[in-house]
């Protein structure tokens, strides 16, 4: 019984400790600077797009000032039944029409785009989603850093709350901020690699050209980063390059998006953490160990739920058996998690996420319970594009 209690305590406390270290490390000043050298790497921006007519124009108009020639932007209109391709052509970018009803998903679209680029391969390929806004100079910073470091580079990818955000939107934005800004910043300050988080990614061509992209993996970006890491090219974080998406306001769309992200994260956690640990030992690489620990941290809301369950189990064991050490350990872990979340909010989220929203976290957790329960009984395994708000 004692062994079981300590096992529960360990599997909950370890990711909390990793989260705490990352969040505290993020509080220190970041001395990141993209150097300006004499090199002038060639680059293309590759955008997979499936029925993105409502957003593609804004995305492209935002990117066009950041390229020398509009043809550097390549849109893969993947199985589109709307005006995505026509709108992109109006703006003068390169458009590739892909039709394959059997192979659907972002990974297949990216692979199609890379095959096209291989005819005149650039030095750097930047991957951007069709529904994002890229800050001025972000493409320059990504391309320059990828060229200098010869590594995959992940931009700062954040979610903007809807025009009329509800409390659930604000808590979702906080969780996204912790995952995509706070934790990568902490890892960057510690000199460690990060996970790929989606859009705003730059790759040297020689690293990306043979990557296994053609799949229906629902978190293909995260998996790509892990595959490249095991091959010797762990991604680095570029905090000066900011890319912004918008959280869906319609409840069904938000649920669909969160389900895909979190089911994919959990599936990747279960299958890839052992693979990374094995690689870290076999290759003697600290960066793979760091990525394994980073990936082992489940989504923040699930981590809080697991802690609540753990504290109840160990507390009950303490009452019935008088053995309180696991309970005390988890209580300390809970304090560390609280400090981590509050400190992250205070430095990075206080301007956009009001403190009153934090009070609603317990209700947000209740909303997420069915999502995690569905992972056990009917997990999402196929790529499904999130519908855009009109």
Mention every residue, 6+ apart, whose C-beta is less than 8 A from residue 387.
248, 250, 252, 253, 256
Predicted TM-score (pTM) of this structure: 0.89
Beta-ladder partners of 245: 159
Which strands, in side-by-side order, build the sheet including 94-98? 94-98, 73-78, 43-49, 124-127, 201-204, 153-160, 236-246, 133-134
Question: How far is the C-alpha of 287 from the C-alpha of 191, rounded, in Å?
Answer: 9
Strands 201-204 and 153-160, bridge-based pairing: antiparallel
Strand partners of residue 95:
75
Give the contacts of 59 (CB within 8 A, at least 6 positions apart): 47, 52, 128, 129, 130, 131, 132, 133, 134
DSSP structural state of residue 180: I
Q: Which of 252, 197, 200, 243 is nearest to 390 (CA)?
A: 252
Domain ranges of the chain: 2-22+296-378, 44-121
> Is 239 in contact with 188 (CB distance < 8 Å)?
yes
- The reported pLDDT for the residue numbered 7 is 96
pLDDT value at position 53?
A: 93
Whether the CB-CB separation of 337 and 19 falls below 8 Å is answered with yes
**pLDDT of res. 155:** 97
Q: At what angle do helices 220-230 and 251-283 cross, to 10 degrees?
A: 10
Residue 53 CA from chain centroid, whole number: 24
Decide: 224 and 196 in contact? Cβ < 8 Å: yes
pLDDT at 36: 58
Considering only CA atoms, which of 12, 49, 70 is closest in space to residue 334?
12
Q: What stretch of H or E contains 201? A: strand 201-204
pLDDT at 34 (0 to 100):
61
Q: Is 262 exposed, middle or buried (0-12, 13-18, 19+ CB in 10 A)?
A: buried
Q: What is the DSSP string of 283-309?
A: HT-HHHHHHHHHHTS--HHHHHHHHHH
Average pLDDT, 10 consecutive residues per value, the chain (390 residues): 93 97 93 65 95 94 95 95 94 94 86 94 96 94 96 94 78 89 96 93 94 74 92 95 78 62 84 95 96 94 94 95 95 97 93 85 82 75 54
């Amino acid at each position: 019984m004692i062994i079981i209690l300590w096992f529960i305590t360990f599997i909950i406390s370890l990711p909390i400790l990793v989260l705490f270290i990352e969040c505290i490390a993020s509080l220190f000043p970041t001395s990141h600077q993209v150097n300006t050298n004499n090199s002038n790497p060639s680059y293309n921006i590759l955008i997979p797009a499936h029925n993105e007519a409502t957003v593609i124009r804004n995305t492209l108009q935002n990117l066009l000032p950041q390229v020398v020639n509009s043809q550097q932007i390549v849109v893969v209109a993947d199985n589109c039944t709307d005006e995505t391709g026509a709108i992109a052509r109006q703006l003068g970018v390169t458009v590739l029409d892909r039709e394959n009803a059997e192979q659907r998903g972002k990974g297949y679209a990216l692979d199609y785009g890379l095959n096209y680029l291989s005819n005149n391969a650039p030095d750097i390929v930047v991957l951007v989603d069709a529904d994002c806004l890229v800050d001025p100079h972000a493409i320059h910073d990504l391309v320059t850093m990828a060229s200098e470091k010869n590594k995959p580079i992940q931009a700062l990818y954040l979610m903007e709350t809807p025009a009329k955000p509800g409390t659930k939107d604000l808590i979702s934005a906080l969780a996204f901020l912790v995952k995509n800004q706070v934790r990568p910043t902490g890892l960057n300050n510690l000199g460690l690699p990060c996970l790929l988080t989606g859009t705003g990614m730059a790759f040297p061509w020689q690293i990306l050209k043979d990557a296994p992209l053609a799949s229906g993996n629902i978190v293909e970006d995260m998996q790509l980063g892990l595959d490249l890491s095991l091959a010797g090219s762990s991604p680095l974080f570029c905090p000066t390059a900011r890319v912004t998406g918008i959280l869906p306001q319609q409840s069904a769309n938000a649920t669909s998006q969160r389900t895909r992200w979190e089911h994919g994260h959990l599936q990747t956690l279960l299958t890839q953490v052992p693979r990374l640990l094995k690689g870290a030992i076999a290759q003697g690489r600290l960066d793979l160990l760091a990525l394994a620990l980073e990936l082992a941290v489940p989504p923040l809301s699930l981590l809080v739920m697991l802690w609540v369950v753990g504290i109840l189990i160990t507390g009950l064991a303490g009452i019935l058996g008088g053995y309180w050490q696991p309970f005390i350990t988890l209580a300390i872990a809970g304090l560390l998690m609280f400090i981590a979340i509050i400190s992250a909010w205070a430095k990075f989220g206080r301007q956009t996420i009001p403190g009153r929203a934090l009070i609603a976290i317990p209700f947000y957790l209740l909303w997420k319970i069915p999502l995690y329960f569905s992972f056990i009984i009917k997990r999402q395994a196929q790529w499904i594009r999130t519908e855009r708000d009109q």
